[in-house]
Amino acid sequence: MAELRFAGVRKDYGPVRALRGLDLEAADGELLVLVGPSGSGKSTALRTAAGLEDVTAGSVHIGERDVTRVPPAERNVAMVFQSYALFPHLSVAENIAFGLRARKVPREEARLKVERAAELVECGDLFERKPFELSGGERQRVALARALVREPDVFLLDEPLSNLDAQLRVHMRAELKLLHQRLGTTMVHVTHDQVEALTMGERVAVLGDGVVQQVATPAEVYRRPANRFVARFIGSPGMNLFRGRAENGTLHAGPFAIDWSSPQVRGRELEVGVRPEHVSVGGEGTAAEVRVVELAGSEAYLHLEVEQTTVVARVPPEQPPAVGSRVRVQLDPDRLHLFDHETGARLEA
Amino acid sequence: MFRDRERRESAIMLAPYVVGLAVLVALPAAITFGLALTEYDLVRAPRFAGFDNFYELWDDTVFWTAVRNSLMFILFAVPLRLIGAVALALLLHRRFRGAAGYRTAGYLPSVVPDVAFALLWLWILNPLYGPLNLALGAAGGPTPSWLTDARAAQWAVIIMSLFTIGEGFVVAMATRQGIAGELYELGAVEGASPLHMLWRVTLPLMAPTLLLLLCRDTIFSFQANFVPALLVTGGGPEYATTYLPLFIYRNGFEYLRYGYAAAATILMFLITALIVYLQYRIVKRWRRAFVV
């Protein structure tokens, strides 16, 4: 077991800069989730950790070792691919044993290890089958068993859940977390799904434009996004963002005007963010028209039009206002996020 | 209604092929079966001869030499051609600078007209000033008399056939490109050596295609040595490169024994069918192991 550390990792593909100086560490035994939109560099980061991509500059460390120039086989990492990468001509048992056989582990010892790994992910009853006879979830288990059979220092999971249907994905999310708790091995999990990131990670690293935008606990990333990029990317539906400016005791945020006494951000061009759950509907406030009502079971989301600006608000699902009806809207002044309009960086009020 | 139209359109589009197949293949094949039971020299009318041609073939030592030569040719040429095609495919399946040029070079001999190809080899194989023997001599190797030594002439025809593997190469390359790259990345992470990947992953996954190529190449190779045998080695020395197609050609078009040639054609067809059937039996058993 060991920690995984990226130190100033840069990766260029010709003129394209996939990673622009990645500094990130997954602590020993930690489950770190790398999340970001497509093209953010998260898969590239994982592949440089595995050694499948050379780095243009910077270094990758596993435990005490600098593995930047070490071939993949000698890094003692295991990888689970989005497609699972099961060998179609080999049985489940042979697939799990592949790495052991390649490393010339004696047959009997390999068999015991394969059985133990299969037991951990509960796929022991599939041994004789070929991958084409398995469901998506079963393939996933086999790929996991193959990854853990060698007892690697670090697990690298590249969007392992994205080929599963929604229900199975939620189930496997929990199973992966359990597996991590049981093994206690360092795990880096790449996903583009921010819900998956928030529910699974002990810490979440949000990647954008080839750099780390924020590394923090899921709660921190959600409650205090470090910049506009994170604010936009994390949360579903996303955060409402308005152009804003604070002057003369008032914060102007899009169509809203809020009493504002804090002097810190006075006169600056701002971006003001507020999550849908911190927009209150009813009572006092600015007039708005309900354009869309989305029922999501335990809650409902209203898309409101306020002076040609769309605002999303979360309301209790019982008796939401009808489409077309007029309501009044207020932003919770204590739950506003302020970002510098130029740099996008978070500002403390 | 739509179905009817679709069927009619299919029939129209298929018609040229069906007509060609009937006139150029089915009809001559039927006539060949008829001719095999006759004596016919293009001058006098065909005379029914029953199975006389077949009895005569049975006692014809040249015929049996031709059968043996053809079988030996297949035994060496087909596996070597397949290995060559796969080797080229594995070398050139990746994208790299100049790949298109190398691939074209690999395919090119297959599109050179047979006669030009044969004449080129007549020069290459010349024992005195041919580049092959000059190179072999310079390297201190043996310099066989390719066209006058029986064993050497047989090898010369096999060597020539090893350059016309373009189709097998392209099919093998497409198959290799169809194997997911992630399998190789996984192999790299899991510590599998290139040789391990080749034996345990690449070849088994290519096996269904390779077995198909094997069958096809066997049928093809029975006939492919006709032009080189005719133009380069002339069937000799001492019948060493008289293969079945050349035997049939000589009897038909040089000795004007059409009935006899037709009977030999039928036997060649039967031998080919038997070999393909045997391969099919083996392939069927092997394929089960590689079903994807």
Instruction: Going residue by residue through chain A, which has 349 residues, state the pLDDT in tens, using 9 for 90 and above.
Output: 689 999 989 999 988 888 898 899 999 999 999 999 988 888 999 999 999 999 999 999 998 899 999 999 989 999 999 889 999 888 898 899 998 988 888 989 888 899 888 888 888 888 888 888 888 888 888 998 899 888 899 999 998 888 888 888 888 888 888 888 888 899 999 999 888 899 888 899 999 888 899 999 999 999 999 999 999 999 888 899 999 888 888 888 888 888 888 777 777 888 999 999 999 888 788 889 999 999 988 899 999 999 889 999 999 988 888 899 999 998 998 899 999 988 888 988 6
**Which residue is listed with tokens 């002339």?**
B234
The candidate with the shortest Cα–Cα distance to B177, out of B91, B79, B264, is B91
Q: Which residue of B has its CA nearest to A130?
A: B292
Whether B84 maps to a domain, the answer reads: yes
Percentage of residues in chain B having pLDDT higher than 90: 15
Find chain A residues with C-beta within 8 A of B192's C-beta. Answer: 73, 98-99, 102
Residue A132 has which token pair? Answer: 């084409």
A114 burial class (0-12, 13-18, 19+ CB within 10 angstroms)?
buried
Structure ipTM: 0.84
Whether B114 maps to a domain, the answer reads: yes
Q: What is the largest CA-CA distance in chain B?
A: 76
Element spanning A31, H or E: strand A31-35
CA A59, A60, A65, A68 torsion: positive or negative?
Answer: negative
Q: Answer whether B188 sits within 8 Å of A103, measured CB to CB.
A: no
SS3 A250: strand
Q: Which residues contact B105 (CB under 8 A, 6 or more apart)?
A: none
CATH number of A4-233: 3.40.50.300
A with B: how many residue pairs have Cβ under 8 Å apart?
69
Residue B168 has which token pair? Answer: 């097998």
The candidate with the shortest Cα–Cα distance to A156, out of A274, A21, A6, A303, is A6
Q: Both ends of chain A: CA-CA distance in Å?
A: 42
Find chain B residues with C-beta within 8 A of A79's C-beta. Answer: 185-186, 189
Q: What b/e readout covers B167-202, taking b as 16+ CB neighbours within 10 angstroms?
A: ebbbbbbebbeeeeebbbbbbbbbbbeeebbeebbb
Whether B187 maps to a domain, the answer reads: yes
Average pLDDT over residues B86-93: 91
Residue B135 sits in a domain whose CATH number is 1.10.3720.10
pLDDT at B228: 74
Name which of A52, A75, A101 to mutate to probe chain B: the one with the most chain B Cβ atoms within 10 A of its Cβ: A52
Q: Which CATH superfamily is domain A240-347 in?
A: Nucleic acid-binding proteins (2.40.50.140)
Maximum mean pLDDT: which of B53-67, B73-87, B217-231: B73-87
**Taking the mean position of all CA atoms in its chain, how far away is CA B78?**
7
Decide if A191 contacts A159 (C-beta within 8 A). yes
Find chain B residues with C-beta within 8 A of A98's C-beta. Answer: 186-187, 190, 192, 200
Percentage of residues in chain A having pLDDT higher than 70: 99
Decide if A18 contacts A44 (C-beta within 8 A). yes
Q: Domain ranges for chain A, please list them.
A: 4-233, 240-347
| Overall domain count for chain B | 1
Residue B292 binned pLDDT confidence (cut-offs 50, 70, 90):
very low
Whether B25 maps to a domain, the answer reads: no
The pLDDT tens digits for B149-186 are 878 888 888 888 888 888 899 999 999 999 888 999 99
Q: Answer whether A132 sits within 8 Å of B292, measured CB to CB.
A: yes
User: What is the pTM assigned to this prediction?
Assistant: 0.80
Whether B28 maps to a domain, the answer reads: no
The pLDDT tens digits for A280-310 are 888 788 889 999 999 988 899 999 999 889 9
In terms of residue numbers, what domain contains B84?
58-290
User: What residue type is assigned to position A249 of the chain?
Assistant: G
Q: If contacts are CB pairs under 8 Å, which of residues 210-229 in chain A contact chain B?
A: none
The pLDDT tens digits for A191-249 are 998 888 998 888 999 998 888 999 999 999 999 999 999 999 998 888 999 998 888 88
Whether B48 maps to a domain, the answer reads: no
Whether B15 maps to a domain, the answer reads: no
Topology agreement, domain A4-233 and domain A240-347: no
CB nearest B190 (choices: A52, A98, A132) = A98
Average pLDDT in chain B: 84
pLDDT at A314: 92
Helix orientation angle between B203-224 and B61-92, rounded to the nearest 10 degrees: 140
Q: How far is B90 from chain A (nearest CA, A)?
A: 19
The candidate with the shortest Cα–Cα distance to A17, out of A193, A171, A207, A188, is A207
Decide if A227 contacts A257 (C-beta within 8 A). no
Q: Which residue of A has its CA nearest to B185?
A: A52
